Amino acid sequence: MRQDLIVILDLGSTQNTVIAREIREHGVYSEIYPHDITAQEIQALENVKGIILNGGENRIVDGQAVEIREELYDLGYPMISVDYPQSKCGKRFDKLPSGDELKTFLFEECKAQANWNMKNFIEDQVELIRRQVGDRKVLLALSGGVDSSVVAALLIKAIGKQLVCVHVNHGLMRKNESESVVKVFRDELHANLIYVDAVERFLGKLENVSDPEKKRKIIGAEFIRVFEEEAGKLEGIDFLGQGTIYPDIIESGTKTAKMVKSHHNVGGLPEDLKFELVEPLKQLFKDEVRACGVELGLPHDMVYRQPFPGPGLGVRCLGAITRDRLEAVRESDAILREEFAKEGLDRTVWQYFTVVPDFKSVGMKNNARVFEYMVIIRAVNTIDAMTASVEKLDWAVLERVTNRILAEVENVNRVCYDMSPKPPATIEFE
Ligand code: XMP
């Protein structure tokens, strides 16, 4: 690592990531560590320039105040503390330091250099990946989501054809999504890409299954099976690439914070796969992952995609999945995305999609009675997906999307807009 490092010690703060990101925004790399890290462990880190003792509301755990090891005060690094009254270090802040106070600490006291940027990060990672992998091979499940795409691009840069990507099309992808994975990775980046058409297999397993949890479980389990089968056909693979990012590590719980949430993904692979992991993004926040993707030359659409659930359109084709309704979800979603992009809403609205319930309603087409499906539009904003509010969509946009869906999507005679915030609704319907 060529980059200077500021170590943030978690002493029960809920603001660890806030301060970590702020430091990185000043161009200095930062990482969060548990409060009970030893002096030896800190000395083993490269280029440490300073330490922040970050206290806060979770400072008392099981009736006991958490404290750092005394030996850390003797290391001689510049140190400040935030909301940590027991601290013996010189400069103490009651709350997060202001931008200027932080800059004084970083650049005057720690003498850190602002050398954290994506170019350096990529250079470092390419070198580290080559060192880890040598002339061996890495396998990667490439869903086409932001994280797996950026990992793939980074690994291709580092080890080229020693990376084997497997893309499983489970039939629940959005319109043109699998095609674009093949185009970008096989045709443009010349990746070693195995494309698995598992559409019939997944839809077969899902036939007549209406319980949302059962659907999710089937999709997850089937994905693992398909991936394992493909892996079994390959020889000489020692590593598994994964798009783990920093929030995945932090949100799975620090010593003082409870677990925030656990979302399991289609990419979640079983632990008994005997591979060593390659996780080059594990220190990056989501916006940094995107910046890394842009720096690596990935298309804007791929890097700035809205979140998409692992089980894909499967949880938006409500109840037991049928092909006609799945097509209606896919086509209406494509129309919504196209119209949002025209208005620039794709850059401002956090998540937007369509769902199709499994019942019909009466309508009129060409002067005749029809009995057809409805499309529900959902568009929400949120910071952390734990709560969400409904986007106040412009009437004209809603009308245009509605008219296009009614004219272009088969088997649909009605369009509704979901006005429910989370809670009590969730963002997805299943
Ligand atoms: P809910 O529906 O719980 O969704 O309000 C919150 C956010 O999580 C996404 N989501 C998932 N993401 N795997 C994922 O990677 C999943 O199984 C999954 N289920 C929901 C959802 O799209 C929303 O952004």
Distance 428 CA to ligand 1 centre (A): 7
pLDDT of residue 278: 96
Which amino acid does the sequence have at 297? G
Task: Decide whether any atom of ligand 1 lies within 6 Å of the 241 Cβ.
Answer: no
Q: What percent of the chain has pLDDT over 70?
A: 94
Per-chain mean pLDDT for the chain: 92
Atom 24 (ligand 1): residue with closest C-alpha? 307
What pLDDT digit, counting tens, does each position of 54-82 carry?
998 888 877 888 899 999 999 999 999 99
Mind listing the pLDDT tens digit for each residue in 285-337? 999 999 999 999 999 989 999 999 999 999 999 999 999 999 999 999 999 99
pLDDT of 254 reads 55
Q: How many angstroms does the Cα of residue 192 sit away from the middle of ligand 1?
A: 30
| 220-224, 225-229, 260-264, 273-277, range with the lowest pLDDT | 260-264
pLDDT, tens digit, 9 for 90 and up, residues 102-159: 999 999 999 999 999 999 999 999 999 999 999 999 999 999 999 999 999 999 999 9
Expressed in angstroms and rounded, the spacing between residue 185 Cα and the centre of ligand 1 is 26
The pTM score is 0.88
Taking the C-alpha atoms of residue 75 and residue 104, their distance in angstroms, rounded to an integer, is 21
Quote the pLDDT of residue 14: 86
ω into residue 424 within 30 of 0, thus cis? yes
C-alpha 401/C-alpha 406 separation (Å) is: 9
Can you give the pLDDT at residue 2? Answer: 73
> Other CB atoms closer than 10 Å to residue 125's CB: what's the count?
22
Residue 263 CB–ligand 1 contact under 6 Å? yes
Task: Name the residue among 114, 111, 116, 161 with its Cα closest to residue 135.
Answer: 161
* 427 Cβ below 6 A of ligand 1: yes
Please report the pLDDT score of residue 267 as a whole number: 47
Q: What ligand 1 atom has the least distance to the C-alpha of 426? A: 5
Confirm if 11 and 84 have CB atoms less than 8 A apart.
Answer: yes
Pocket test for ligand 1, best of 215, 248, 263 (most atoms within 8 A of CB): 263
For residue range 3-40, list pLDDT tens digits in order. 899 999 999 888 999 999 999 999 999 999 999 999 99
Question: Is residue 162 within 6 Å of ligand 1 at its C-beta?
Answer: no
Looking at per-residue pLDDT, the higher value among 384 and 392 belongs to: 392
pLDDT recorded at residue 57: 85
Confirm or reject: Cβ of 351 under 6 Å from ligand 1.
Answer: yes
Instruction: Tell me how far apart the alpha carbons of residues 289 and 285 are, in angstroms, rounded to a whole number.
Output: 6
